[in-house]
Amino acid sequence: MRTVIVIPTLNERAAIEQLWRRLEEVARAHSLSALALFVDDGSTDGTREAVMRLTSNDRHLRPQLLDGPRRGYSAAVHTGIELALGLGATRLLTMDGDLSHRPEELPRLVAALDAGAELAVGSRLVPGARWHAPLWRKWLTRSYSLAVALLAAPPVRDVSTGFRAFTPQAAQMALAADPGLGTFGWLLAVCLLAKRAAIATAELPISYAAPASGSKLLSPRRLPRYLSEVAKVVLLHREGALYRALEPARGSVNPR
Ligand SMILES: Nc1nc2c(ncn2[C@@H]2O[C@H](COP(=O)(O)OP(=O)(O)O)[C@@H](O)[C@H]2O)c(=O)[nH]1
Ligand SMILES: [Mg+2]
């Protein structure tokens, strides 16, 4: 089993060492042989240097830094998935680098894949989830989830979580989502494409804690942009155009 954990980072210097220690412990405790792929595209706080200093004392976990020009969250994760597939990953995981996604919960996502899911989504919006965040953020995420459920009927409630596990087939499917759709547009598009491609999807409750340093992604200033990106994805879904990207891959994604 070759597991690749894709971790997009933008100025996460303060979290890197703790994240690494906890990932190492999890990998050791669960005999998870994994590559942690940090995808950084313009941190200015020493994140990349911190990743390059990471060393592993055991054979379970290895760090790798993928460094490139600033292209944003969706492009970073898309590139990470592409590279992981190229490396022959048999399981792909994506998670934030800010400790809001707990490394200790990775094995539950992996177990969902082992139990037959092709895409497992760590969710703040299903019973059993624990979620510490400012009220405005919870309200925003819940309203967004509700609106999207009414407009596009995605296969999961939490369409904006980046804590996900993929089989190689599901990851290949995810590459059909254009990173140019923007952060939340892309995260939503992956969910909608999974449903269309009949990818078996599981939604698991997680314990999520927004870091005190705040979100790199969400800010009132960016909301109009996010709204228009998501509206575009909903429109593409309704027109069916979102799924054209799936056509060339369909043979390999969902042979029927
Ligand atoms: N490479 C890269 N990573 C990013 C970018 N924007 C955010 N991230 C990372 O993506 C993850 C999600 O961002 P985060 O601030 O946690 O968003 P939130 O969980 O929605 O509050 C974090 O690990 C960030 O460091 C970006 O432009 N490029
Ligand atoms: Mg986060």
Check residue 253 and give its pLDDT.
Answer: 55
Rounded to the nearest angstrom, the distance between the alpha carbon of 248 and the centre of ligand 1 is 30
- Burial state string for 41-54 with b = 16 or more CB within 10 A and e = fewer than 16: bbbeeebbebbeeb
Amino acid at 182: G
d(CA 228, CA 224): 6
User: Which ligand gives the minimal distance to the CA of 96?
Assistant: 1
The residues near 114 (Cβ < 8 Å, ≥ 6 apart) are none
pTM for the full model?
A: 0.94
Rounded to the nearest angstrom, the distance between the alpha carbon of 96 and the centre of ligand 1 is 6
What atom of ligand 1 comes closest to residue 183's alpha carbon?
6
Check residue 213 and give its pLDDT.
Answer: 77
pLDDT < 50 stretches in the chain: 255-256
DSSP calls for the chain: --EEEEEEESS-HHHHHHHHHHHHHHHHHTT--EEEEEEES---SSHHHHHHH---SSSSEEEEEEE-S---HHHHHHHHHHHHHHTT-SEEEE--SSSSS-GGGHHHHHHHHHTT-SEEEEESSSTT-EEE--HHHHHHHHHHHHHHHHHH--SSS-TT---EEE-HHHHHHHTTS-GGG-HHHHHHHHHHHHHHTT--EEEEE-EEE--TT--SS--GGGHHHHHHHHHHHHHHHHHTGGGGGGHHHHHHH---
**What digits encode the pLDDT tens for the residues 145-194?**
999 999 999 999 999 999 999 999 999 999 999 999 999 999 999 999 99
- CATH number for the domain formed by residue range(s) 3-253: 3.90.550.10
In contact, 58 and 12? CB cutoff 8 Å: no
- Residue indicated by tokens 């492009």: 75
The residues near 60 (Cβ < 8 Å, ≥ 6 apart) are 24, 27, 28, 31, 32, 33, 34
Give nearest CA residue, ligand 1 atom 9: 9
d(CA 53, CA 47): 10
Kindly state if the Cβ of 161 falls inside 6 Å of ligand 1: no
Give nearest CA residue, ligand 1 atom 27: 72
What atom of ligand 1 comes closest to residue 40's alpha carbon?
1
Check residue 252 and give its pLDDT.
Answer: 54
Ligand 1: residue of 19, 74, 96 to mutate (most ligand atoms within 8 A of CB) is 96
Rounded to the nearest angstrom, the distance between the alpha carbon of 146 and the centre of ligand 1 is 23
Domains of the chain, by residue range, sit at 3-253
Kindly state if the Cβ of 141 falls inside 6 Å of ligand 1: no
